[in-house]
Amino acid sequence: MNWAAGTPAQSVTVTFSNEYAGPPVAPSQRTAAERDAWGAKLRSYVEKGGNLVLTDGAVRNLAYLNAVGRSYINTFSAYAGYIGFTRDGSTSTYADPLGKDVQQPGAAEGPQFRHQTYEPVPIGFAIMPPNDDTDFNASPVWAVDQVEWERLGGRTVGLTTADQVTLGELKLGNGVVRLIGALVPMPTEQYYHPFGLANYAVTYTGYQTLNNALQWQRAFPDVTLSSTDIAFSKTKIVGGDKVTITATIRNVGDAAASNVAVRFADTGTQIGAVQAIASIPAGGTGRASVVWDTKFLKGDRTITVTADPADAIAEWNEANNSASRVVTVYGNKTR
């Protein structure tokens, strides 16, 4: 015991401050031109068959993709992040691929098929004011105006408040952009959180919704032809005649094929130049022709047509691009 010590303290007060005490945060060095170029590359990725998932604040990138006007992209706050799995408030979208397995037995469901997607407190967002126990809306949500979204061809799967799309899909070219406007926003230090931040903010619904959005099978073209797709301008050819060979190329894939090269060959020797078809839509056909000079030819000739001979086009099946027909030259005649 220290008899010389002063009177011990009866209480201790510890205060916390949410004021940032580090060095000033430098402003972004990205220029508007760099931002726009980045947006153009993202759009190109989607149009070529990619699946771009935009969550929370990244939903604003729809404007940089020139997919949705910036004035139609909104942000607001809720008590906690949630999505109502409905398009109209009265029927659910649980059967939609983006809503798959959300409504599990025992899952908490609020009015209008509402499911919470993240917990606000672990990532720093308050649920009540500092000095009372009333509800406080601080959890950020990003959304797209439903009328504009659907006018552009977007599919609405979830809403957070009326007419604000927070879960949906928009097709661009051969790919899709999917948005989740309330998944897990960037943490904040704005509100009182003396126990720090945590990494367990996403709910079961949030995890399942993200998992659904990540499922994607890219669309590919598939150019092909058979021997019956090779035709000749004459059935009987006198040696020396110039015969037009026409090939019908079929796209049996689920995406358009562009700049389809077509090569014709006579018993292994290329006939003329490689031809090109500008575009063949999914399920459609295109034709290419070449002139075949039969001078000095006789006997059996194997005419082979190959679509995409350099394998420049990514396809479902790379092994069905070629077909052949045998024609016989008797003397100066072929049939």
Over residues 45-83, the pLDDT tens digits come to 999 889 999 999 999 999 999 999 999 999 999 999 999
Element (H, E) at 267: none
Within 121-161, residue ranges assigned H as helices are 146-151
Residues 6+ apart with CB under 8 A from 42: 52, 61, 64, 65
Q: Which of 114, 157, 159, 117 is nearest to 139 (CA)?
A: 117
Grouping H, G, I as helix, E, B as strand and the rest as coil, residue 292 is: strand
**Residue-level pLDDT at 335:** 45
The phi, psi pair for 185, rounded to 5°, reads: -70, 170
Give the distance, in angstroms, between the CA of residue 294 and the centroid of all CA atoms in the same chain. 50
52 bridge partner residues: 177
CA dist 267 → 49, 125, 126, 149 (Å)? 37, 73, 77, 56
**Residue-level pLDDT at 2:** 62
Single-letter amino acid code for the residue at 47? E
Direct distance between the N- and C-terminal alpha carbons of the chain, in angstroms, rounded to an integer: 120
Residues 6+ apart with CB under 8 A from 204: 104, 107
Single-letter amino acid code for the residue at 191? Y
pLDDT above 70 coverage of the chain, percent: 96
Max Cα separation, the chain? Answer: 130
DSSP secondary structure letters along 294-310 = -TT--EEEEEEEEESTT
CA dist 64 → 35, 74, 107, 181 (Å)? 7, 15, 37, 17
**Residue-level pLDDT at 1:** 58
The segments of the chain whose pLDDT lies below 50 read: 333-335
Grouping H, G, I as helix, E, B as strand and the rest as coil, residue 290 is: strand
- Which tokens is 318 given? 């790379």
In CATH terms, the fold of domain 223-334 is Immunoglobulin-like (2.60.40)
Locate the domains of the chain by residue range: 32-214, 223-334
Q: Are strands 175-180 and 51-55 parallel, antiparallel or unpaired?
A: parallel
**Residue-level pLDDT at 333:** 44
**Residue-level pLDDT at 332:** 63
CA distance 316 to 254: 9
